């Protein structure tokens, strides 16, 4: 940048996980990469002894004979793997290593070259059957997992990049980047980038400059192999603007040359749902995919859509097979990338057979979507859903963001406050210390309502949308039109079916208990209104689906929920009373055990719950009880954050 020196060390984002965990620092990211390399090298090293024993023959082709016999070549591979593992271990423990880098593997090509040489020699000598055994298995593992075992995506919010760029331009004396209009930002960024140069994901991306800023920061920091930059469109307005943003970005000659015809775009289900409600978010995500695919096709860019789904319905979760089949036509095209959230990793990948089953589901659905694309929505369906989404968003925001005392009610009626104080999440519950719902992360927002069995973020807005549609019989709406959409349009059917599943897991009576114990008297009418809305929305939902009872089309799931209900209800009662005790000031030491026995019915459990915990902000027995109920309810509901 004009040849001036500028130290970015203290200016660049320190939180490499833009979802905002302050403990994810550059040092932690480096250590994770080193640990992954050490584990990968150790895994490959453990296979070399058997492979060397298997390839003990001397017969080989001229290419291999010019080097060494199989065992000597593989012995060199084994030694380099040991050095690779040991160098990573030493750097992790001491910060430096006595092993030179040239005695280790630094890229996959170096590792694969001797293995491929052995493979070719075996095939040339008529030993293809042997070549296709352990050797080919190892080559496939190396090609799949590389030397890094896993690839880390670096994620950061666009605002942090703006801070860094503003510091740079201010230092250079050319003004405040933050105060520049979008056109000037793009002009300056592109002019600087013309001098040069896993994924870097930009949360809350809103404009082309958000992407260009990361490209420039990578160049200025001397990144030898720049990460591909992935904009993440999350909030409703950003999704609506996504088409225009990518149109402008693809029109920049430098950027078009940089991406070489390939672009990845991430769409966020969590914050879009928190921002506008489930119905509007789902519909806008659908339309945004259609639009950005169209832009990419016009510019000759191969697009991969990265779905930032959570584990629960309120964050875009649900059966993966149905979710993929409900995507718009021409948006999958044999290529799909999806997040697997922490709360569902165990269920999807906890055992070897689960891994294969999960991958089979994703693969089958991806192939089926390409071979038998879902129908495109009729124009009248689009118009009706546009109107419904507008009505749903208005009702959702009128309560969540515009009702003056909603935040007070939310924090009183749910365990959100206690969740934020306890170290049980993967990241802080808020992006910023203060603020209301807008600063709260999607995970605790969904988690808190799930704990009380009310699921407000999932259903709020649907009732108003259904009523509006049913009143539009003269304008192409009405119940008959909704049922037509449900029967013929996979996207709409999946949306309704998931909502029905959530209602089957909900219980307004349990939510009423939390209100009775925890909510101030003057706020209780507000809760009663919300529960009346819940009941009415459920009634309208059943009409749209043509069902008399919840989950009548899925008796297996209905039975499983009935079996779990009594256990979850007991945990809810225990949690509600525990929250009341916490908010009333906690126990005196002499009263801890009697209450625990009263709630849990087991003196052994009670004794375990009241063990001293010097780091607890609350009475130790109360915090342990609360954490256990949270985990139990989440496990029983199969819907966490």
Which of 56-60, 312-316, 495-499, 605-609 has the least mean pLDDT?
605-609
Choice between 468 and 175, residue whose per-residue pLDDT is larger: 468
**Model confidence at 169, in pLDDT bands (50, 70, 90)?**
confident
CA 84, CA 87: separation in Å to the nearest integer? 5
- Range ranked top by mean pLDDT from 32-41, 334-343, 461-470: 461-470
Question: Strand, coil or helix: what is 232?
Answer: strand
Give the residue-averaged pLDDT of 451-476.
87
**In this structure, what token pair is assigned to residue 307?**
């779905």
Give the residue-averaged pLDDT of 401-405.
90
Which of 20-24, 179-183, 256-260, 628-632 has the least mean pLDDT?
20-24
- The CATH fold assigned to 26-145 is de novo design (two linked rop proteins) (1.20.1440)
CA 20, CA 205: separation in Å to the nearest integer? 15
Cβ neighbours of residue 207 under 8 Å, at least 6 residues apart?
182, 185, 241, 245
Domain boundaries, the chain: 26-145, 152-371, 379-589+600-637
Give the residue-averaged pLDDT of 250-267.
88
Does residue 630 contact residue 578 with C-beta atoms inside 8 Å?
A: no
Predicted local confidence at residue 421, as pLDDT: 67
Predicted local confidence at residue 191, as pLDDT: 66
Give the residue-averaged pLDDT of 574-583.
92
Cβ neighbours of residue 133 under 8 Å, at least 6 residues apart?
54
Does residue 211 contact residue 249 with C-beta atoms inside 8 Å?
A: yes
Question: Strand, coil or helix: what is 278?
Answer: helix
pTM over 0.85: no
Percent of the chain with pLDDT over 90: 36
Annotated catalytic residue 256 = no
* List 80, 235, 274, 287, catalytic entry: 274
Predicted local confidence at residue 112, as pLDDT: 94
- Residues 542-551 pLDDT 10s: 999 999 999 9
Which of 183-192, 251-260, 489-498 has the least mean pLDDT?
183-192
Predicted local confidence at residue 252, as pLDDT: 87
Q: Partners of 262 in the beta sheet?
A: 302
Predicted local confidence at residue 113, as pLDDT: 93
Percent of the chain with pLDDT over 70: 82
Q: What is the mean pLDDT of the chain?
A: 81
**Model confidence at 9, in pLDDT bands (50, 70, 90)?**
very low
Domains 26-145 and 152-371 share a fold: no
Predicted local confidence at residue 198, as pLDDT: 66
Predicted local confidence at residue 576, as pLDDT: 94
- Residues 563-574 pLDDT 10s: 999 999 999 999
**Model confidence at 76, in pLDDT bands (50, 70, 90)?**
very high
Which of 58-72, 280-294, 580-594 has the least mean pLDDT?
580-594
**In this structure, what token pair is assigned to residue 627?**
């954490």
Cβ neighbours of residue 241 under 8 Å, at least 6 residues apart?
206, 207, 233
Predicted local confidence at residue 475, as pLDDT: 57
**In this structure, what token pair is assigned to residue 568?**
């979850």
**Model confidence at 612, in pLDDT bands (50, 70, 90)?**
very low
Predicted local confidence at residue 474, as pLDDT: 60
Cβ neighbours of residue 306 under 8 Å, at least 6 residues apart?
199, 201, 230, 232, 264, 265, 266, 267, 337, 338, 339
Is the pLDDT assigned to residue 515 strictly greater than 90?
yes
Which of 8-22, 188-202, 252-266, 415-429 has the least mean pLDDT?
8-22
CA 88, CA 77: separation in Å to the nearest integer? 17
Which of 177-186, 300-309, 457-466, 495-504 has the least mean pLDDT?
177-186
- Residues 181-234 pLDDT 10s: 877 777 777 766 647 336 777 777 778 888 888 888 888 777 777 878 888 888
CATH code matching the domain that covers 152-371, chosen among 1.10.30, 3.20.20, 1.10.3210, 1.10.357:
3.20.20
Predicted local confidence at residue 524, as pLDDT: 94
Report which secondary-structure segment, H or E, holds 12.
Answer: none
**Model confidence at 591, in pLDDT bands (50, 70, 90)?**
very low
The alpha-helical segments, DSSP class H, found in 414-523 are: 416-421, 442-451, 456-459, 462-470, 478-488, 490-505, 508-518
Is the pLDDT assigned to residue 3 strictly greater than 70?
no
- Residues 96-116 pLDDT 10s: 889 998 899 988 899 999 999
- The closest of 456, 472, 558, 542 to 507, measured between CA atoms, is 456
**Model confidence at 138, in pLDDT bands (50, 70, 90)?**
very high
Is the pLDDT assigned to residue 28 strictly greater than 50?
yes
- φ/ψ of residue 285, rounded to 5: -60, -40
Give the residue-averaged pLDDT of 33-46.
91
**Model confidence at 609, in pLDDT bands (50, 70, 90)?**
very low
């Amino acid at each position: 940048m004009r040849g001036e020196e500028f130290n970015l060390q203290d200016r660049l984002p320190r939180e490499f996980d833009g979802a905002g965990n302050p403990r994810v620092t550059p040092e932690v990211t480096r250590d994770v990469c080193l640990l992954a390399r050490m584990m990968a090298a150790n895994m490959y090293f453990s296979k070399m002894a058997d492979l060397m024993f298997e390839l003990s023959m001397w017969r080989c082709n001229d290419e291999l004979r010019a080097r060494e016999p199989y065992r000597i070549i593989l012995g060199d591979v084994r030694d380099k793997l040991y050095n690779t593992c040991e160098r990573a271990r030493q750097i992790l423990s001491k910060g430096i290593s006595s092993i030179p880098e040239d005695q280790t593997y630094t890229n996959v090509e170096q590792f694969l070259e001797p293995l491929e040489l052995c493979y070719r020699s075996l095939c040339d000598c008529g030993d293809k059957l042997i070549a296709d055994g352990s050797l080919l298995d190892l080559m496939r593992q190396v090609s799949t997992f590389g030397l890094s075992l896993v690839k880390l995506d670096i994620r950061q919010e666009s605002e942090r990049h703006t801070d860094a760029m503003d510091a740079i331009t201010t230092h250079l004396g050319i003004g405040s980047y933050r105060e520049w209009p979008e056109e000037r930002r793009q002009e300056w960024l592109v002019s600087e980038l013309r001098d040069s140069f896993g994924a870097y994901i930009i949360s809350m991306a809103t404009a082309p400059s958000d992407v260009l800023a990361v490209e420039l920061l990578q160049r200025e920091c001397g990144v030898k192999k720049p990460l591909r930059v992935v904009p993440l469109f999350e909030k409703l307005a950003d999704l609506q603007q996504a088409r225009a943003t990518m149109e402008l970005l693809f029109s920049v000659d430098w950027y078009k040359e940089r991406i070489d015809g390939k672009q990845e775009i991430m769409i966020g289900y969590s914050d879009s749902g928190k921002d506008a409600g489930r119905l509007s978010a789902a519909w806008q995500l659908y339309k945004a995919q259609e639009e950005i695919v169209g832009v990419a096709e016009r510019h000759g860019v191969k697009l991969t859509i990265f779905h930032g789904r959570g584990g629960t319905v309120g964050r875009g979760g649900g059966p993966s097979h149905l979710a993929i089949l409900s995507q718009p036509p021409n948006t999958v095209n044999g290529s799909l990338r999806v997040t697997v959230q922490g709360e569902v990793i165990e269920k999807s990948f906890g055992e070897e057979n689960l891994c294969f089953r999960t991958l089979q589901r994703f693969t089958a659905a991806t192939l089926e979507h390409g071979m038998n694309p879902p129908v495109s929505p009729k124009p009248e369906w689009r118009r009706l859903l546009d109107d419904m989404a507008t009505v749903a968003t208005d009702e959702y925001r009128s309560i969540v963001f515009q009702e003056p005392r909603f935040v007070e009610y939310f924090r009183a009626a749910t365990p959100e406050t206690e969740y934020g104080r306890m170290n049980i999440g993967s990241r802080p519950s808020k992006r910023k210390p203060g603020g209301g719902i807008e600063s709260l992360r999607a995970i605790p927002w969904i988690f808190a309502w799930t704990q009380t069995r009310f699921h407000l973020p999932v259903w709020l807005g649907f009732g108003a949308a259904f009523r509006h549609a049913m009143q539009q019989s003269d304008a192409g709406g009405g119940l008959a039109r909704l049922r037509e959409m449900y029967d013929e349009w996979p996207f709409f059917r999946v949306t309704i079916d998931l909502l029905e599943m959530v209602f089957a897991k909900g219980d307004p009576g349990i939510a009423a208990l939390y209100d009775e114990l925890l909510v101030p008297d003057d706020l209780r009418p507000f809760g009663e209104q919300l529960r009346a809305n819940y009941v009415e929305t459920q009634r309208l939902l059943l009409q749209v689906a043509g069902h008399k009872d919840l989950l009548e089309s899925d008796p297996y799931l209905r039975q499983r929920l009935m079996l779990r209900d009594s256990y979850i209800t007991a945990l809810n009662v225990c949690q509600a009373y525990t929250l009341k005790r916490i908010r009333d000031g906690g126990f005196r030491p002499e009263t801890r055990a009697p209450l625990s026995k009263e709630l849990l019915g087991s003196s052994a459990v009670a004794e375990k719950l009241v063990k001293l915990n010097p780091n607890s902000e609350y009475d130790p027995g109360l915090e342990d009880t609360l954490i256990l109920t949270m985990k139990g309810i989440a496990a029983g509901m199969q819907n966490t954050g």
